Amino acid sequence: MAHDSHGPGSAELHDPETDPLATYVLEPDDVRPLLARVVASPGAATHTSLAPFTGAPIAAVPLSTPDDVVRAARAARAAQRLWAARPVRDRTAVLSRFHDLLLERQSDVLDLIQLENGKARVSAFEEICDIALVARHYAARAGRYLAPRRAGGIVPGLTSVRVLRHPVGVVGIVAPWNFPLTLTIGDVLPALVAGNAVILRPDPQAALTALWAAEQLEEAGLPAGLLQIVVGDGPSVGGAVVENVDHVSFTGSTRTGRVVAAQAGSRLVPATLELGGKNPMYVAEDVDVEVVAEGAVRASFVGTGQVCVSIERIYVREEVFDEFAEAFARRTRELRIGSGLDYRFDVGSLTSAAQLATVVEHVEDAIGHGAAVLAGAVHRTDLGPWFYEPTILTDVPAEARLAREETFGPVVALYRVASDDEAVAAMNDSEFGLNASIWTADTARGAALARRVHAGSVNVNEGYVATWGSVGAPQGGVGSSGIGVRHGREGLWETTRLQTVAVQHGAHGLFGRLAPGRGPRVGLGRLYGLGTETWPTVYTELLRVMKAARLP
């Protein structure tokens, strides 16, 4: 595995006078105003977040309590009423200004993302791209997505129907650690532009990035109080969020997602859940192997594999298996691994000791069951405490944990298949259905195969970026990968409630308010007035007329 010889050589603390990568290079005066945004009581307990590159402390983040969540909800509800009453164009203007601030100040948040998460800078930049795309999209389209729409009335010409969308009120977002910006602010923006207030619970490991983004949103014009940030563990603080909001958005494990769904369901509160995945890729026999190998490296190892939609299993047609395996392994071994706060490296560190332990357990278990290593499978303690080389395995048996459990790290397994049908069956042989990828020179064939795959999104000739970055389309999972979506109009609609308003004309005379009581009374009242024997006959004929006229 290639790495920069000038990078840190151990997991020890580094001298900030000589090493720009020292995690305590963060100035206390810079961190203090961010931490002050956490809704927490005076003298609150703290969580010390650690920098994955070195294991050194970043900051002592105040921890909220369930009582703090109640206080945050009260403040959010007070702010939301005025926000919902403002025109949509005022709300979209905030997103537009936030978009510009994000791009202008990206270097600041890139540093925070890397320090909190450990990913390479190029992977952190994907989060900038994602949030900029989301902000721009909803700034341009939210007005259209939220506009009332007409619907056909029971009596054509006399019943006018409008379907309205209202904000639900307060949206609770319980976010994970693996995408400090994308999976926090990416869900905050549509909720806000729909007219809601938000209580955001970032993972304690990723709090600084979320707090930085909140600061930029207020500078962009977001009224104070609309975005409340609480920090704490899932069972206590996350559970309190679910108990105090009108919609829940949760990203995390399937096991925890079931708990969140049950808790939300007991309150009859809707929930959007993006959960686990074991995302497959299929490589057909007609591909350019080098092109696909390059794509597979990105799809499997971006973000050190700690990406909800990254690829963990690859099914390769036997005609090109050996050639693909060689190219994939070669490109993987060429990846530059290191901890620079710059663009020198392709792969960074895992985020925590716990995540490293899962990766090591899965790889060792697979090898113990007979799997072969094509690349990686090495814990790189020379680079830092939690670095692990991108790993490719073959001959992974079904009984190995790696075969079915989500690893959530830089590990992928290769399998041979003899046909499209075998590949699709293997891809669908999982409880999960979040993302999938198909590579073929025949795009029509790829699109046809994609429709057969049990996944919320399928990329043809790309790993995950094509669907994820197309923010006008919904992104979500099926099966044990979750319910609901983010992105697109459907993602915006998740945090709205529907209301149908039907206005019946003619009940007070044909001329309505212009001449109340004058002119013939028409409409449903007049129809019912025909009597219980006559009006069904009349309406039967009207139903026939409406069908003949092709009325919807």
From CA 177, how far away is CA 202, in angstroms rounded?
A: 7
From CA 407, how far away is CA 258, in angstroms rounded?
A: 19
DSSP state of 454: -
CA atoms within 13 A on the CB side of 291: 12
Exposure b/e, 47-58, CB count within 10 A at least 16 = b: bebbbbbbbbeb
Token pair 């609309």: residue: 226
From CA 404, how far away is CA 432, in angstroms rounded?
A: 9
Give which of 309, 290, 310 is closest to 300, Cα–Cα.
Answer: 310
Token pair 């702010």: residue: 79
Q: How far is CA 21 from the centre of its chain?
A: 29
From CA 24, how far away is CA 147, in angstroms rounded?
A: 48
Of 127, 274, 312, 494, which one is the catalytic site residue? 274
- Distance between first and last Cα of the chain: 63
From CA 178, how far away is CA 232, in angstroms rounded?
A: 16
274 assigned to active site: yes
444: enclosing H helix or E strand: helix 443-450
Which contacts (CB < 8 Å, 24+ apart) does range 16-20 have? Answer: 20/341
Name the residues annotated as catalytic: 274
